[in-house]
């Protein structure tokens, strides 16, 4: 979503609607198709792999940098190419997506010098942690146009103070840290401990051939059921 918001120059068009304007040229001059663009993910763990899979239908040129190569089958399915050296990958990318954990090694890894190695007009999406970026280096690069668009919901620090420079730099599509706060995600987080207790109990007392619905009061009130439907004990947690 954040990639598309930046690539299609969505925010200026949205602001036009709010302000009562209609200037297609004012949006289109910086709007592009995602198809054919080179997208590189820095970090290819669970989120990085999902990103590559979801970008496959857009016919992008996909690159990834990580400590290790991913499974050859997934590499084949996505068409993604491994880049062992980060600084070799970055100049190739139209879009860079940060998906690496925050460690002492990655803290501030995108500083002024590293950003300068990227293409002029690069788009950056940070899905990881704000501290991976040098705050002022991002502001300067957005202001000069070297970074044509920056988006994410991670800040350094969090909550971001009112005077945080990322709030006011040009070409940004930032939000508060909301990625894990959907209704669906909160249901899973809230009931996960209950699920695990029931899961353990179910494994201990029920045979593979049985189909049982939980009658626990808490689950009955939340209308969540647990079913055993296969020999491998695959459990479905269903919101009805």
Query: From CA 217, how far away is CA 61, in angstroms rounded?
Result: 51
- With cut-offs at 50, 70 and 90, classify the pLDDT of residue 180: confident
pLDDT at 237 over 60: no
pLDDT at 222 over 60: no
Together in a domain, 91 and 168: yes
Together in a domain, 149 and 217: no
Together in a domain, 141 and 115: yes
Query: From CA 40, how far away is CA 81, in angstroms rounded?
Result: 9
Together in a domain, 150 and 211: no
Q: If we measure between CA atoms, which residue out of 33, 35, 68, 74 comes closest to residue 52?
A: 74
Query: From CA 83, how far away is CA 40, in angstroms rounded?
Result: 9
What predicted TM-score, i.e. pTM, was given to this entire model? Answer: 0.80
Gap between the terminal Cα atoms of the chain:
28
* Cα Rg of the chain, angstroms: 22
Domain count across the chain: 2
Query: From CA 217, how far away is CA 223, in angstroms rounded?
Result: 10
- The two beta strands, 81-82 and 95-98, are unpaired
Q: If we measure between CA atoms, which residue out of 82, 77, 84, 83 comes closest to residue 50?
A: 77
Q: pLDDT (tens digit, 9 = 90+) per residue, 100-156?
A: 999 999 999 999 999 999 999 999 999 999 999 999 999 999 999 999 999 999 999
Query: From CA 99, how far away is CA 49, in angstroms rounded?
Result: 10
* pLDDT value for 12: 95
- In this structure, what are the phi and psi dihedrals at residue 172, rounded to the nearest 5 degrees? -115, 150
Asked if residue 157 has a cis previous peptide bond (ω within 30° of 0), the answer is yes
Asked if 70 contacts 43 with a C-beta cutoff of 8 angstroms, the reply is no
Q: pLDDT (tens digit, 9 = 90+) per residue, 44-100?
A: 999 999 999 999 999 999 999 999 999 999 999 999 999 999 999 999 999 999 999
Together in a domain, 169 and 206: no
Asked if 69 contacts 115 with a C-beta cutoff of 8 angstroms, the reply is no
Query: From CA 211, how far away is CA 40, in angstroms rounded?
Result: 46
Together in a domain, 96 and 157: yes
Residue with tokens 């090694």: 105
* pLDDT value for 198: 73
* pLDDT value for 61: 98
Out of 148, 174, 200, a domain closes at 174
* pLDDT value for 196: 72
Q: Name which of 7-11, 97-101, 197-201 the model is least confident about.
A: 197-201
pLDDT at 221 over 60: no
Together in a domain, 145 and 224: no
* Residue 187, domain extent: 183-239
Asked if 39 contacts 95 with a C-beta cutoff of 8 angstroms, the reply is yes
Together in a domain, 105 and 168: yes
DSSP 157: S
């Amino acid at each position: 979503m954040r990639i598309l918001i930046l690539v299609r120059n969505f925010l200026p068009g949205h602001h036009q609607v709010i302000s009562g304007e209609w200037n297609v040229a004012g949006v289109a001059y910086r709007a592009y198709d995602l198809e054919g663009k080179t997208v590189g993910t820095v970090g290819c763990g669970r989120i990085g792999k999902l990103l590559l899979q979801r970008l496959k239908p857009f016919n992008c040129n996909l690159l990834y940098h990580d400590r290790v190569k991913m499974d050859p089958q997934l590499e084949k399915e996505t068409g993604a190419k491994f880049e062992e050296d980060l600084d070799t990958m970055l100049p190739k990318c139209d879009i860079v997506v940060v998906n690496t954990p925050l460690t002492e090694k990655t803290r501030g890894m995108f500083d002024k010098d590293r950003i300068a190695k990227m293409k002029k007009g690069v788009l950056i999406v940070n899905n990881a942690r704000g501290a991976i970026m040098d705050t002022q280096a991002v502001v300067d690069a957005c202001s000069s146009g070297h970074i044509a668009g920056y988006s994410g919901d991670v800040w350094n620090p969090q909550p971001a103070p009112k005077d945080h420079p990322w709030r006011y730099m040009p070409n940004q599509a930032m939000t508060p840290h909301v990625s894990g706060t959907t209704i669906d995600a909160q249901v899973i987080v809230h009931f996960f401990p209950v699920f695990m207790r029931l899961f353990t109990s179910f494994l201990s007392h029920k045979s593979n051939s049985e189909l049982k619905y939980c009658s626990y009061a808490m689950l009955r009130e939340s209308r969540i059921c647990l079913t055993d439907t296969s020999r491998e004990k695959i459990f479905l947690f269903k919101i009805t």
